[in-house]
Amino acid sequence: MADQSKLSSLISLAYYGESAEIYELLSQGAVDPNITDAEGMTALHAAVQQGHLDVVRVLIAAEASINRRNTAGLTPIFMLAGCPLDRQVAMIGELVEAGASLRAAARNGVTAEQLLFDVGGTELREWLAARH
């Protein structure tokens, strides 16, 4: 079972954008970048949702699973729906380049691409449309 203090620390640090502390923890091998909470959320899910691109980069470099699903079946790319609009395009580019699947489907059958097109900002919708 995961050390709850390390789990809450990593996810909390990711949520608040503390890339230097996350880098320190991961470089020391103090915590697994793919550790999950009770809902299956990882630090990568939290960082994407909050729009912390620097944290996302640190986690990807530490081999965080780019397509890991939470208990709702959502991969980190789905979290872009809650990401600040001005950060969505940079974030999606980073995630896709790292191997995130836009075709990943949640349990309800909606793909990340469909969700993001429906709820994303104008620039994100334009980025998605340009891929077709």
2's CB contacts (< 8 A; 6+ apart) are: 32, 35, 36
User: For the segment 53-88, what is each residue's pLDDT rounded down to a tens digit?
Assistant: 999 999 999 999 999 999 999 999 999 999 999 999
* Domain extent for 91: 4-130
Q: How confident is the model at residue 131 (pLDDT cuts 50, 70, 90)?
A: confident
Kindly report the pTM of this predicted structure. Answer: 0.92
State the Cα–Cα distance between residues 44 and 52, nearest whole angstrom: 9
Q: How many domains does the chain have?
A: 1
| pLDDT at residue number 6 | 52
User: For the segment 9-68, what is each residue's pLDDT rounded down to a tens digit?
Assistant: 899 999 999 999 999 999 999 899 999 999 999 999 999 999 999 999 999 999 999 999
Q: Is 74 helix (H, G, I), strand (E, B) or coil?
A: coil
The CATH number covering residue 63 comes to 1.25.40.20
76's CB contacts (< 8 A; 6+ apart) are: 42, 44, 45, 47, 48, 66, 67, 68, 95, 100
State the Cα–Cα distance between residues 85 and 102, nearest whole angstrom: 18
Output the six-digit token pair for 97: 């380049």
Q: Which of 55, 5, 53 is nearest to 30 (CA)?
A: 5
